Amino acid sequence: MAGAPAAGPVRPAGQAAPPRPQPSAAHDVLCVNAPGMAASGPDGQLRGQGLHGFFRHGVRTLARMELRLGGMEPLPLQGILTSTAAARFVGSVRVPGDLDPDPALTVERLRHADGAETVTVRNTGARPARLPLEIALGTDLGLLTDIAAGRRSADLPGQVQSSGLRWVGQGRAATVSARPSPHAVLAGAGVLRWDLEVQPGARWSVDLRAELETSSTARPPTGRGPGVPLPWSEPEVRADDRRAARLVARALDSLGGLLLADADRPTDLYTASGAPWRFGLTAADALWAARMTLPLGTRLAAGTLRAVARRQHQAAPNQAAPHPAAAPRLAESAPGDGTSALEGAGPMPGHAPGPAGGANPSGGETGTAAQTMDGVIPGPLRHGGPELPASCTATEATLLFVTVLAEAWRWGMPRAEVAELLPAAERALGALRAAVVDGPDGPVGFVADFGRPAEERAARPGPARCEVQAQAHRAALQGADLLDAFDRPGAAQWRSWAAELRERFREQFWIDDLSGGRPAAALLAPDRPVPAVASTLVHLFDLGLAAEGELHEGLLDREQTRLLAQRLVAPELDCGWGLRTLSAKSPRFNPLGHRSGAVRVQETALAVSGLVDAGFEREAEMLLEGLLEASVHFDGRLPEMYAGEQKVADCPPVPHPAACRPAAVSAAAAVHLVLSLAGVRPDVPSGRVATRPASTAPLGALELTGLRVAGEPFSVRVSRIGVAVVEEAPSFLQLAAS
């Protein structure tokens, strides 16, 4: 979400502030085809309110498009998405003087996110219909960030052009053209008018197109261009539980609407974070989407990794810095005051704007700040919930880069492409090394936020979050795998560091209680755990793909893992629709809170796959059912999050007003939720692939065709008793026993 609007005039003492508009996408019909989108109410009318309008590159190209036939608005009958990028609206109009109770005229509007709309008037009555069609248009050419903050400028005056209207303002211009051309254009009112005569049984149509003109020399990211294939295979899912196939199909459709590419790299596709609020690259979200769709091929991962690597912070070449793959020093003490500056942290220092707002890809920065941020992948601040300050997504993105590269390599990403990206992974490991806390008042030996320079972290250590330790541990082990495989130094040291981190974590993060104990949400300093019970604990189950189809060791021992599995499905976290982000027992619980109680799809999906991998299939099945049932109420298109209210019969989950829908991570998580149940774990470099499905077969019989391993087709069938049979696989892969 955008920040607060700029301060306005000073109000006299005692005068109440005017109500702030709150644009919401929760009940809008939102079409998305990056970098374009369109939002309206279910009647299809664009009224210039809230988020309504056509958008392109973050600019509202058109705010109002209100249709009247014979001076009347059509009575809305239906407004639905036909795909992520398109919507259909149907309304009816009664012809004046018609005594028949059935409406004679219907109006259909077919809308596409790229700015096109076709309006069709049909006459099913017995008499000719002679009446005017008027479409009122207007725009403020406002920025999406301003609109999200509740700011709305006045509409700009329109200018007549040959087939429609044009608006100019704020260094931008927009046009709406119509075919056939209108019979009249009323520029002052912004109205296009046609005098229709539609015979019985006939129809009449007009095509409208809204386009953005800009004088900027910048080259913003584009969408997937003509001729560029989707960066994943299109699988066929057959399961006894029919919700699964629909969920995967609609999730991939949603991801397709979010695809972006840098203007000079049109084949390197990655996903925007989500629409409408984060309609651009957030590295952490794009990497999650790439990782969770690896069973459909490595092309999205390759494009995402390259796009993110171009934005990675690099110190100037002449700066002498330790080898980026060197393992961190686990010092026992260093100066520090134990305070946290994360909550007030802004953008990471030392970053010049690059493509799509990322780091300067040239790496030509100098100074201590540049060196200490070397290897960090930029990311915005993200709400940390009521128990912790905001966190920088740079931490998650930097660690996840190593994981995605390592797992894409296991899934068959060509060795040359992996080698090209290995220096960026080494720099990310160097950033991990620099983020280990060694101050006496901080969480010594644990990993803190990457979003601040090392000197600032040393002076004011921030919290060591539970999920960050899990991500760092996984990155260290998978980074070591890459370093070994490509004959780079440092692998043994990283494995040793990961082993020490495991020991420290089990000793210092574990909180004993009457239920047997649980991990802390974070550690502020030795003996200062944050005892919140939150959904971020699920990252402890996400161990990462290792050699021979195995998983890496986790931070918890077996008994701790069992206790956490039981905790996840207890009513305080599992609301019946998925995992709450904060325990319902917390005094700060809010079912609509981003990090204080809402259900975030990604974390529940990770919990399902992680619980299956750990052997807690009953618990996994409980969470799986919640997400599948929620998907039915959201028409198969799971949003980023929704309310964590307790599930009640005949009462659907409540949408979150600020949720992105579609959101890359939740869409990819829906794909992961289903595909992970087949348990396909390849290790292409060693020529092996294993299948370890859920033995309880929670979807019944499951058949997946059209997967990809090493770029070639892979199909697997799981029986109702949880036995997997590989029906198609690359000939050079040896099948490991289930």
Three-state SS at 719:
coil
Q: Which pLDDT score is estimated for 82?
A: 97
CB 466 within 8 A of CB 522: yes
Q: Which pLDDT score is estimated for 2?
A: 38
Quick: pLDDT tens for 586-632: 999 999 999 999 999 999 999 999 999 999 999 999 999 999 999 99
Which letter, b or e, does each residue of 44-78 get, where b requires 16 or more Cβ atoms within 10 Å of its Cβ? bbbbbebbbbbbbbbbbbbbbbbbbbbeeebebee
DSSP secondary-structure letter at 538?
A: G
How many residues would you count in the chain? 738
Q: Which pLDDT score is estimated for 439?
A: 73
Three-state SS at 724:
strand
Amino acid at position 684, single letter: V
Pairing label, strands 116-123, 59-62:
unpaired
Question: Cα-flanking dihedrals φ and ψ of residue 602, to 5°?
Answer: -55, -45
Q: Which pLDDT score is estimated for 235?
A: 98
Low-confidence spans in the chain with pLDDT less than 70 = 1-27, 215-216, 316-372, 737-738
**Which residues, other chains included, contact 518 with Cβ-Cβ below 8 Å and sequence gap of 6+?**
510, 511, 533, 537, 563, 564, 567
Measured between alpha carbons, how far is 50 from 30 in angstroms, rounded to an integer? 13
Q: In terms of Cα–Cα distance, which of 705, 597, 707 is closest to 641?
A: 597
Burial grade of 97 (CB within 10 A; 0-12, 13-18, 19 or more)? exposed
Instruction: Please name the residue that has the structure tokens 């905001």.
Output: 390
Measured between alpha carbons, how far is 670 from 248 in angstroms, rounded to an integer? 6
Instruction: Please name the residue that has the structure tokens 């019909």.
Output: 29
Q: Which pLDDT score is estimated for 372?
A: 64
The three state secondary structure string of 196-217 is: EEECCCCEEEEEEEEEEEECCC
Pairing label, strands 203-214, 172-179:
antiparallel
Quick: pLDDT tens for 676-689: 999 999 999 999 99
Provide the 10 A C-beta neighbour count for residue 275.
29
Q: In terms of Cα–Cα distance, which of 25, 43, 28, 31 is closest to 82?
A: 31
The string of DSSP letters for 247-313 reads HHHHHHHHHHHTEEE-TT-TT-EEE-SBTTTB-S--HHHHHHHHHHTGGG-SHHHHHHHHHHHTTS-
Measured between alpha carbons, how far is 251 from 234 in angstroms, rounded to an integer? 11
| Distance (Å) of CA 155 to CA 22, 109, 134, 189, 565 | 19, 24, 19, 11, 55
Measured between alpha carbons, how far is 724 from 680 in angstroms, rounded to an integer? 9
Question: Cα-flanking dihedrals φ and ψ of residue 560, to 5°?
Answer: -65, -35
Q: Which pLDDT score is estimated for 453?
A: 75
Provide the 10 A C-beta neighbour count for residue 117.
25
Instruction: Please name the residue that has the structure tokens 């292409």.
Output: 684
Measured between alpha carbons, how far is 145 from 700 in angstroms, rounded to an integer? 45
Task: Name the β-bridge partners of 551.
Answer: 545
Q: In terms of Cα–Cα distance, which of 300, 19, 48, 85 is closest to 167?
A: 48
CB 134 within 8 A of CB 196: no
- What tokens appear for 467 in the block? 């999920």
pTM comes to 0.90
